[in-house]
Structures are given as structure tokens and as C-alpha cells.
Amino acid sequence: MAKVSILQSQLLDITISRLSQQLIENHGDFSNTVIIGLQQGGIILSERIKKRIFELAKVEVPLGQLDITFHRDDFRRGQSILTPSKTDIPFLVEDMNVILIDDVVFTGRSIRSALDAMMAFGRPRKVELLCLVDRKYSRDLPIEPTYVGKVVNSIQSQYIQAEWKEEGHQEDNLWLINQ
Amino acid sequence: MLSQKHLLGIKDLTREDLELIFQTADQFKEVINRPIKKVPSLRDITIANVFFENSTRTKLSFELAEKRLSADVINFSSSGSSVKKGETLLDTVNNILSMKVDMIVMRHSSPGAPHFLAKHIDATILNAGDGTHEHPTQAILDSYSIREKLGTVEGKKVVIVGDILHSRVALSNIFALQKLGAEVMVCGPHTLIPKYIKDLGVIVEHDLMKALKWCDVANMLRIQMERQLVKNFPSVREYSQNFGLTKEILESLDKEIVVMHPGPINRGVEITSDVADAENAIILDQVENGVATRMAALYLLAGKKDV
């Protein structure tokens, strides 16, 4: 199983800083903005982004976590059932600017599910999508991220694996793996 | 993934199945407390609630769970139906299935009725109570409520008080609690305790005070007058004096115990009103958890079937 590193500790940190700066540029004091990390890949990234925004702009952005399991479009379609993770959104998104965060955007189906799931918490004014890796040319749906860490050209049989220090790894790493 | 295609009884489930249902129910509990309490998971599924016996709580709870999952729901009750004209169970259900129904939730007065059906039809079957046999979703929600209140079911001491002989809730609860690692005691008059119940590995006690001193949780069952063909105790008054839970009894214990009741409550018989409404009674939590756990069971069973 061959694997190639896409982003590593220092470069990953620079990328997170750049993405945070872009958010600060577009959202100012974040007075009407909330962040929602998508289970499971987007959680650690969303926490890092929140922390970095605080370090750079001294603003605490409300952060929630959203699970999309019950909104997936492949339920009963031969896939094994995924065990749901926690949803914790301690605010309403009604009339707010929402930044959805996920680690990888691939077919776009998870993001469609996330948009659907998010609507249970109100009607947002605007929704943006931030991802660390955009797997270009592999979209099933017309969904594009607003903020991208790195664009990767990959084929169907490959997948991306993220390793974070928070999960007990020695250093942060994003791998492109051949199955 | 659940080990079973149907939910016929707790006896067939593994501990892993129960834990998976709990884990899924945790997330559904969050869903039903949102401003919009609905998810689209079962939007391409039609469920028939087939009730050959009266029910308020279970029927409402199932129907709500199904609707929260976006399933299409049809309701059938035997009163006023062709069952009265002599149609057999299998014919009735096959007619319902001809209308392209994917899942059947069934309550029936005959023990084993859902098992019989499962052998003859393709649809997924959930047992909502079969006579005096099993009531699996009640046991799941009871164990889930204990887990929620006490953190775990493992190692807890649970006494089931009352009409064990006629109770499907008792049997399903015994199976579920034992699979989850709890110690189970049954308590009631000699006439309402089945003769060979000890073979299931439960402790038998006929003194309510001793039982309450032993337990962490007391599940007070309803006296099932409708199933008693002979008088099993002299009077309701005498039963309630010996096995009714009152505030005085609760306060005389040197510890706090959790009080449960599967409903409907005969206030003043199994438990007095002040106990039913006390802080350590989790009767209404059980009802809320009923919806979340039934959503979990429906979701996990529906997911097993490929389109």
C-alpha cells in the first residue's frame, strides 16, 4: 500500500494560518459568523482554525460539530451502516454566516448531506465551505469549496488519510494512499 | 450492523446489538430535541403498524419514531377490520404487504405471532409485544434509561416488581439486563412469579422491603388484570399494601433508588402518585427515550436491507 505525504506538520500549520487569514479578511469581527466542523474529519481542523483565528484576531468564533449520518444518500444502498457521531450545535444558524469545515472534499455528497442536516438548525444567511484537501475532478455534485488548503488530483481508488497530534500521532500528516 | 434481520425478541440479540442501538439512540435523542426534529433516513420506506391488541404508548411512540425518520406510515388495528370477518393473520399481513410495505411493527395477543410471521414473509418485523412473551423495544428503552441515569447498566442491581407471570416487559427486561451485565431480581406474590423463573438466573424475592434494600433500580410493573384468568391475589388493596411503592417506603431506605414504570400506571396500586412524580422516578424519561430507541432500532433494521 503506497502512500505519499501531501501536507506535513510545518506546511500544514502554514496552510491553516493562511485559511484563517482568509476567513478574517472576509468575516471581519465574526459578529454574525459561526463555524461548523463536520464529523469526523472536520472536527480537529475546525478546532485548529478557531484557535488560530483567536490567536490572530483575538475573536472567539462559535464552534459546533455536525454529524451527517442520518442525512446520507447511500443509506440502504449496499453500504454497511455507519455508526453516527455526535452533533453538538449550541447555537441557531438562523440568519448567520456559516463556515462548514471538512478535511477532504471528494464527491461532494457529504457536503450535500451536511447542508441538508444543517437546515434543521435554521436558515443561514450564507454558507461557505472550507476544506484542507480538494480532490479535483472527482465531483458527483456541483459543489465547490470556498477556501481550499491544497488541490490534489487523484483517482477513485486512492484515498486521503489525516493524522493529527490530537489523535496521538507524533506529528500532523496528510497522506494520499493507493488502495 | 445488527446481527438480526428482525427484532422479534431480546433473546435473539447480542450485547453488541444492544450497545449499537444505544449508541445510535444517543444521536437520535439529540435529533428529537432540535428545533426541526426530523431526519430523512427512511424516506423511501413504508411501515405498517399492525396492532391486534390495544396500545397507547407503544403505538404512539413507534408512529412518532417512524415519522421522525421520514418513513411513510400506515396504521392498522384489528377492531373494525376484516380480522373480525375471519381473515387469518398471514392473509391480513400479506394483503398489507401487497401495498408495498417494507416493515411491519406488530402487536399481537398470541406469543410467537411475530416469529410465525417472520418465517412466512420477506418484510422486516418488529415485535411491539406478543402476548405474555416479549416486548423488546420496552426492554431496550428501559435499559437505555438506566444507562442514561446511572451511566451504565453493567453491575447494577435491578428489581422487577409485580406481575412477572403475565408480563412480556419482565421477560424482555430480564434478557436485556442480563446481557448488559446487570443483576436481576424479581419480586411479587408467589402466585405472580412463574415457577421456573430461577432457571433464567434471576433472584426471587417475595418481600418488597428486602428487594428495595438490595437494588439500585426498581421497575414497578402494572398488574395486568386483562390477562388474569383466575384471581392471583385476594384484592387490589391487599396487593398494593404488600407490593405498592410509597413515599414512606422510599424515604425509609438509606439510599436513593431509581424508580421506573413501563406505564400505564395504576396510581395507588403499584406506586403512589407522589412516588410517580418524585425526582428519582424516570417514568417520563422512559417515554422520551422510547422514541429515540425505537428510531435507532428502525434505522438499524432498515439499513440491513439492500434496495
Residuewise pLDDT in 10s, chain B (307 residues): 899 999 999 999 999 999 999 999 999 999 999 888 999 999 999 999 999 988 888 999 999 999 999 999 999 887 766 676 778 888 888 888 888 899 999 999 999 999 999 999 989 999 999 999 999 999 999 999 999 999 999 999 999 999 999 899 999 999 999 999 999 999 999 999 998 999 999 999 999 999 999 999 999 998 876 666 567 788 888 888 999 999 999 999 989 999 999 988 888 899 999 999 998 999 999 999 999 999 999 999 998 854 3
Search chain A and give the residue with CA nearest B2.
Answer: A81
Query: B63: how many CB neighbours lie within 10 A of its CB?
Result: 18
Chain B contact set for A119 (CB, 8 A): 36
Of A81, A116, A121, the CB nearest to B35: A121
Sketch the domain layout of chain A as residue ranges. Answer: 3-20+40-73+95-178
Cβ atoms of B127 and B9 within 8 Å: the answer is yes
| pLDDT at residue A137 in the model | 84
User: In this complex, is the C-beta atom of A78 within 8 Å of any C-beta atom belonging to chain B?
Assistant: yes
Are B303 and A75 a contacting pair at CB < 8 A?
A: yes
Query: What are the chain A neighbours of B34 within 8 Å (beta carbons)?
Result: 120-121
Cα–Cα distance, A103 to A101 (Å, whole number): 7
Domains in chain B: ranges and CATH = 10-135+288-304 (3.40.50.1370), 137-286 (3.40.50.1370)
**pLDDT score, position B237:** 87
Q: How high is the pLDDT of residue B287? A: 94
Assess whether pLDDT exceeds 60 at residue A162. Answer: yes
Residue with the three cell numbers 405474555: B132
Residues B204-258 have pLDDT tens digits of 999 999 999 999 999 999 887 666 656 778 888 888 899 999 999 999 998 999 9
Give the integer Cα–Cα distance in Å for B22 and A93.
28
List, by residue number, the catalytic residues of B. 57-58, 85, 107, 135
**SS3 state of residue A156:** coil
Mean of pLDDT values over A157-170: 92
- Adjacency order of strands within the sheet including B46-51: B72-77, B46-51, B103-108, B124-130
The pLDDT score that the predictor gives to residue A94 is 94
Residue A79 has pLDDT above 70, yes or no: no
Closest Cβ–Cβ partner in B1, B41, B306 for A78: B306
Beta carbons of B296 and B13 less than 8 angstroms apart = no
User: How close, in Å, is residue B39 to chain A by CA atoms?
Assistant: 6
Alpha helices in chain A (DSSP H): 9-27, 41-57, 109-118
Q: Is B34 in CB contact (< 8 Å) with chain A?
A: yes
CB-CB: which of B1, B27, B38 is closest to A80?
B1
Size of the A and B interface in Cβ pairs below 8 Å: 61
Q: In the structure grid, which three cell numbers stand for residue A11, read together?
A: 506546511
Residue at grid coordinates 453488541:
B16
Q: Is A122 left (phi over 0), alpha (psi -120 to 50) or beta?
A: left
pLDDT digits 0-9 by tens, A11-60: 999 999 999 999 999 999 999 999 999 998 999 999 999 999 999 999 99
Contacting residues of A for B1, CB less than 8 Å apart: 80-81
Residue labelled with grid coordinates 471538512? A102
Could you confirm whether domain A3-20+40-73+95-178 is CATH 3.10.50.30? no
Residue for grid cell 375471519: B86
Does the pLDDT of residue A136 top 70, yes or no? yes
| Mean per-residue pLDDT, A80-104 | 92
Query: A90 touching B, CB under 8 A?
Result: no
| B269-284 b/e (C-beta count within 10 Å ≥ 16 → b) | bbbbeebbebeebbbe
**Chain-chain contact of B27 with A70 (C-beta, under 8 angstroms):** yes
User: Cis omega (within 30 of 0) on the bond before B264?
Assistant: yes
